[in-house]
């Protein structure tokens, strides 16, 4: 089964705009025992997944995801729900937890023993490439940058992303250097105010493509990139891999 992407169709080549329909991403960033996280993957994909997929099949949510840590900080796994709006996402999230507690208590308990703490965020999709880069979509390699921004200026950062930086990302997608990108704004959660995710076929491609974009921004959009960096000056970077089995 495929992960459902959060899509934004560009109105023209290399052009982006805010999504025509809102999309909400609810993400739980799990801290897990590295000795047993493979068991958590097995539990998620063989037992818990059914509760998530049921909500996709009945139309309650757009998609769900399970993502594995490749490099970065203390978060080891991400579980995600995507939905057209916050209420739909939160309702489904509550239903899933209740179902797991009632119908799969042993598996749910063991999962929470292994991944025993987490940080929850609600993100709103602000802009993306035509292909979209929800952390649940294939291809399998993702770099996510979690940004700390000046809250009084973060709307300006959104403008700079869409007007100056997005065309550069789309250019490199068209050239085959990246598969997609997405830009999310914070609604609920911790200190990170914006999330930028890029994806490619594998770890090498996503790092190489991202480097090409950054080099071009420095060379050809230096003023805009500097202004953006002054607004969102702190960040934590992670590399992720698809944690769900291939079809």
Looking at residues 81-102, what average pLDDT do you find? 96
Give CA 94 to chain center in angstroms. 20
Give per-residue pLDDT as tens, 20-38.
Answer: 457 999 999 999 999 999 9
- Residues 210-220: what's their mean pLDDT? 97
Q: Peptide bond preceding 139: is omega within 30 degrees of 0, i.e. cis?
A: yes
Measured at the CA of 187, the angle between CA 121 and CA 145, to 5 degrees, comes to 60
Spatial distance between the Cα atoms of 111 and 139, rounded to a whole number of angstroms: 26
pLDDT band at 138 (very low <50, low <70, confident <90, very high): low
Please give the pLDDT value at position 9. 24
Tell me: pLDDT of 96 over 50: yes
Model's pTM, two decimal places? Answer: 0.87
| Token code pair at residue 48 | 């818990």
pLDDT at 39 over 50: yes
Contacts 24+ apart (CB under 8 A), 57-60: 60/88, 60/91, 60/92, 60/95
Query: What pLDDT is recorded for position 131?
Result: 47
Q: pLDDT-derived band of residue 88, with 50, 70 and 90 as boundaries?
A: very high
CA proximity to 143, closest of 223, 77, 61, 198: 198
How far is 152 from 246, CA to CA, in rounded Å?
43
- CATH topology assigned to domain 24-242: Alpha-Beta Plaits (3.30.70)
Closest CA to 43 of 75, 66, 74: 66
pLDDT at residue 247, rounded to an integer: 60
| Mean of pLDDT values over 127-149 | 74
CA–CA separation, 245 and 34 (whole Å) = 19
What pLDDT is attached to residue 246?
72
- What is the share, in percent, of the chain residues with pLDDT greater than 70? 87
- Mean per-residue pLDDT, 181-200: 96
Name the nearest CA neighbour of 99 among 67, 132, 52: 52
Cβ contacts of 52 within 8 Å, gap of 6 or more: 61, 64, 81, 96
H/E run at residue 143: strand 141-148
- What are the sequence ranges of the domains in the chain? 24-242
- Count of C-beta atoms within a 10 Å radius of residue 105: 10
Q: Which residues, other chains included, contact 103 with Cβ-Cβ below 8 Å and sequence gap of 6+?
A: 51
pLDDT at 192: 98
Alpha helices by DSSP H, listed for 115-245, are 154-160, 166-174, 203-220, 222-231
């Amino acid at each position: 089964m495929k992960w459902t992407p959060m899509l934004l169709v560009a109105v023209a080549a290399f052009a982006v705009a805010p999504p025509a329909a809102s999309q909400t991403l609810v993400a739980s960033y799990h801290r897990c025992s590295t000795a047993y996280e493979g068991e958590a993957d097995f539990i998620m994909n063989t037992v818990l997944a059914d509760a998530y997929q049921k909500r996709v099949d009945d139309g309650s949510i757009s998609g769900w995801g399970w993502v594995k840590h490749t490099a970065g900080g203390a978060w080891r796994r991400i579980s995600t729900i995507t939905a057209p709006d916050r209420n739909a996402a939160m309702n489904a999230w509550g239903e899933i937890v209740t179902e797991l507690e009632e119908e799969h208590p042993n598996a749910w308990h063991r999962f929470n023993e292994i991944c025993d703490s987490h940080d929850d965020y609600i993100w709103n999709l602000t802009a993306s490439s035509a292909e979209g880069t929800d952390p649940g979509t294939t291809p399998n390699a993702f770099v996510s940058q979690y940004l700390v921004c000046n809250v009084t200026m973060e709307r300006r950062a959104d403008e700079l992303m869409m007007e100056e930086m997005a065309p550069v990302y789309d250019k490199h997608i068209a050239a085959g250097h990246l598969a997609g990108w997405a830009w999310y704004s914070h609604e609920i959660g911790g200190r990170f105010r914006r999330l930028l995710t890029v994806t490619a076929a594998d770890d090498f491609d996503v790092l190489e493509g991202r480097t090409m974009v950054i080099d071009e921004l420095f060379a050809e959009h230096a003023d805009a990139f500097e202004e953006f960096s002054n607004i969102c000056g702190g960040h934590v970077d992670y590399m992720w891999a698809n944690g769900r089995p291939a079809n």
